[in-house]
Structure 1
Amino acid sequence: MTMVQVKICGLMRPDDIQAVNKAQADFAGFVFAPSRHYVSLETALALQAELNPKIQKVGVFVNETTAEILAIYQAGAIDIAQLHGKSTAEEIKELQDAGLKVIQVFERKSIDPQSLANYLMVDSGKGSGQVLNWKALPHIDRTTILAGGLNPDNISQAVTIVNPDIVDVSTGVETDGHKDPAKIMNFIKNAKEEYAL
């Protein structure tokens, strides 16, 4: 049983970067799609100058073109593209051929185990904060990411039931709309603690 990895998404401020560095997150998510957590390429690059290089950088996209995604990758802002919305096998392959890893997101719909993506994410909806029915999730032999409504209080239960490879949180570690370093620390500790025995 390998230790679950943690992605903290929606980073926007220098304080957020310090918090993920300190808590030793595995992945840092930057949202390039229109949303409350949107960051420009310039902002993302400025923030990443402070990011621990061991932390993989994920760009979140909703129906952006492969050209737009590759421009952000070529600027050095992302290691992995997280694709919401429609993603064709051709688009995924084009990104992978350029050197990117790809997360394909399945929102409230069944996961396609034939997807070419490197990671398959199951989510309750873009930042909806709703929790999925964890017991109903199918077990597939692929690298899976669990997202949707996770927080420091429910994460250890989610990991126990679903046994995902990676868990993803954004609003669940915020207080008053901003990332909360204590919640980030607790989330990561609780996600990984059952492996520390």
Structure 2
Amino acid sequence: MTKIKICGLMTLDDIRAVNTAKPDLAGFIFAGGRHHLELDQALKMRQALDPAIPSVGVFVNAPINEMLKTYRSGAISMIQLHGSEEEGTVTTLQKNNIPIINVFKPNQLNPDTKADYIMLDSGTGNGKPVDWTKLQITTDKPLIIAGALDINNIKQAIKTTKPTIVDLSRGVETEGIKDPQKIIDIVKLVHSI
């Protein structure tokens, strides 16, 4: 069964929707932009989140101390590196027993990363779709795919790439706000594939 991560959660309403839908992972963004959270917000949301759903902190070229502080606070249980972080950052964080997702653009995949998971994304969370049919993906690590996924293209993306996890944020929003029904529908669909 393919797993699913709902990312870019911003409110307690988002958490309620996720608790109802039961995705496999929930994502909090600490990297600026529209979905950015401060640590105190993330802590409140983590407390309201179903304890069975691990939370992932998304960072872009953040200082290691900031990532460690966020992890140690209990707000997150995994870290997603979405910038141009060096492998040394991956191994330093792993020494603290933190599972790491390393994100690459399709043409810059590093299958030799020490990260626990590899994510392929079209860019910087800009909603740009990826043509999954043109990718040659070779990795022995669990693969996560992201990039303008939604209810209309998720089946094809999963069939083409056979990922371990799919990651959605904007694809479950309506007018920039997480849509509970879209979250429920896509989690059910992905878990059925």
Which interval holds the TM-score relative to the shorter structure? over 0.9
Distance 1:163 1:25 in 2: 18
The unaligned stretches of length 5 or more in structure 2 are none
Partner of residue 5 from structure 1, selected from 3, 14, 17: 3
1:14 aligns with 12
Give the structure-1-normalised TM-score. 0.94
1:150 aligns with 149
2:55 aligns with 57
Q: Secondary structure of the equivalent of 1:95?
A: helix
2:101 aligns with 103
1:134 aligns with 132
Q: CA deviation at 1:108?
A: 4.0
Q: Secondary structure of the equivalent of 2:34?
A: coil
Distance 1:126 1:193 in 2: 29
Q: CA deviation at 1:192?
A: 2.1
Distance 2:60 2:107 in 1: 16
1:163 aligns with 162
Amino acid at match of 1:112: N
The unaligned stretches of length 5 or more in structure 1 are none
Distance 1:43 1:142 in 2: 32
- Range with greater deviation from structure 2 (135-144 or 20-29): 135-144
Q: Deviations over 1:159-179 (max 9, x none)?
A: 111110000000110001100
CA RMSD for the aligned pairs?
A: 1.0
Distance 2:63 2:105 in 1: 19
1:91 aligns with 89
Q: CA deviation at 1:88?
A: 1.3
2:184 aligns with 185
1:42 aligns with 40
Count of equivalent residues: 192
Distance 2:115 2:96 in 1: 14
Amino acid at match of 1:95: L
Distance 2:110 2:76 in 1: 24
Deviating 4+ runs (over 3 angstroms): none
8 A Cα contact 2:106 2:135, kept in partner? no
Give the structure-2-normalised TM-score. 0.96
Amino acid at match of 2:3: Q
Distance 1:83 1:6 in 2: 18
Distance 1:180 1:187 in 2: 11
Distance 1:190 1:21 in 2: 16
Q: CA deviation at 1:89?
A: 1.4
Amino acid at match of 2:191: K
Distance 2:149 2:89 in 1: 29
Distance 2:136 2:57 in 1: 26
Distance 2:104 2:68 in 1: 22
Distance 1:32 1:139 in 2: 28
1:82 aligns with 80
